[in-house]
Amino acid sequence: MTEIRKIGVIGAGLMGNGIAHVASLAGLDVVLMDVNPAALEKAMGTIGRNMERQVSRGSVQAEDRDAAIARIRTVTDNGAFGDCDAVIEAATENEAIKKKIYAALCPTLRPDAILATNTSSIPITRLGAATDRPARFVGMHFFNPVPMMKLVEVIRGLATDDATAEAVTQLAQVMGKQVVAAADYPAFVVNRILCPMLNEAIFALMEGVGDIRSIDAGMKLGANHPMGPLELCDFVGLDTLYEVLKVLHEGLGDPKYRPCPLLAKYVEAGWHGRKTGRGFYDYSTNPPTPTR
């Protein structure tokens, strides 16, 4: 089984910087790549602030924080991945973009390097078939925010070999995560269950069953959810939710997974939730104000 000591992370957004954060604190060397230098600068700032919060709470020592940050190298091309034992792709949830990334990435990797994808819904078998290493390709789905969420779904494609699945399971455990094995069906375990619930909340809003505040309060008080479904939509990202629902709808052919038209309108407007400052809530006010 491959012993993973150095990893690459592709994409310096919310998921990518979170993966780099937990990997570096676990003692792994990390190459964090993004084509946008500003995204890398923002990511390192986010990692620094998040680790500082851990130091202030006493869960991380200051010297461990400093050593972890020093283990992260930021780059803007694939050239630094040549000595990585594994690379985790954490790009946007778009199949065409991911396949384009793999086409440029695979020639730079060692033949024995593992390639993992952080996709939340796209079939692993199909993505792996677009690479030069389907046996060493696997799904490794982290959850947002990565430093806080304990779960990683490990998803084997049809061609994924035992050693690869075992190596990424061990890698997730080294990062302090608990692993759930998921079959390669659209949206895997968590999003297969969660996203239709979020979609149904948006249908309830569109149909006037309740307004934003009543739907969120109802699920928090009536179902003991820590966050209302529309608030959670904003946290996940409405664009990401929309893409997952499209994968479910197309992959399973069942109309119950049809994305709500109101969700599509919010995505078309660029109202993607917290990351854009506006979704079902407007985050320019404190507390956030419902937008419908």
**Which tokens belong to 163?**
């050693």
Q: Which of 141, 199, 231, 272 is catalytic?
A: 141
Same domain? For 126 and 62 the reply is yes
My answer on whether 269 and 137 are in the same domain is no
Q: Which of 89, 93, 153, 243 is catalytic?
A: 153
Does residue 150 belong to any structural domain of this protein? yes
Structural domain tally of the chain?
A: 2
Measured distance CA(93)–CA(267) in Å, rounded: 14
pLDDT at 3: 83
Residues 117 and 240 placed together within one structural domain of the fold: no
Helix H or strand E segment including 95: helix 95-105
3-state secondary structure of 65: helix
Give the pLDDT confidence score for residue 81 in this predicted structure: 97
Contact 152, 26 (CB under 8 A): no
Are β-strands 114-117 and 86-89 bridged in parallel, bridged antiparallel, or unpaired? parallel
Q: Is residue 3 among the annotated active site residues? A: no
Domain that holds residue 200: 190-281
pLDDT single digits (tens) 105-155 = 999 999 999 999 999 889 999 999 999 999 999 999 999 899 999 999 999
- Of the residues 17, 120, 121, 199, which is catalytic? 120
Taking the C-alpha atoms of residue 228 and residue 221, their distance in angstroms, rounded to an integer, is: 9
State whether 245 and 168 are in the same domain: no
Summarised one tens digit per residue, pLDDT across range 235-247 is 999 999 999 999 9
Same domain, 128 and 202: no
Strands (E), the chain: 6-10, 29-33, 72-75, 86-89, 114-117, 137-142, 151-156, 178-182, 281-282, 289-290
CATH of residue 40's domain is 3.40.50.720
Rounded to two decimals, the pTM is 0.89
User: Does residue 289 lie in a domain region?
Assistant: no
Looking up residue 215, the CATH number of its domain turns out to be 1.10.1040.10
Residue 225: CB partners within 8 Å, gap ≥ 6? Answer: 219
In a domain, 130, yes or no: yes
120 is catalytic: yes
pLDDT score at 2 = 65
Q: Which of 17, 24, 78, 191 is catalytic?
A: 191
In the prediction, which pLDDT does 77 show?
94
Query: How many CA within 13 A on the CB side of residue 141?
Result: 23
Say if residue 69 is in the same domain as residue 164. yes
Does residue 243 carry a catalytic annotation? no
Same domain? 222 vs 260: yes
Report the pLDDT value the prediction gives residue 93, as an integer from 0 to 100: 87
**Rounded average pLDDT per 10-residue block, the chain, 292 residues:** 88 96 98 97 97 96 97 96 97 93 97 96 95 98 94 98 97 97 94 96 98 98 97 95 94 95 98 97 97 95
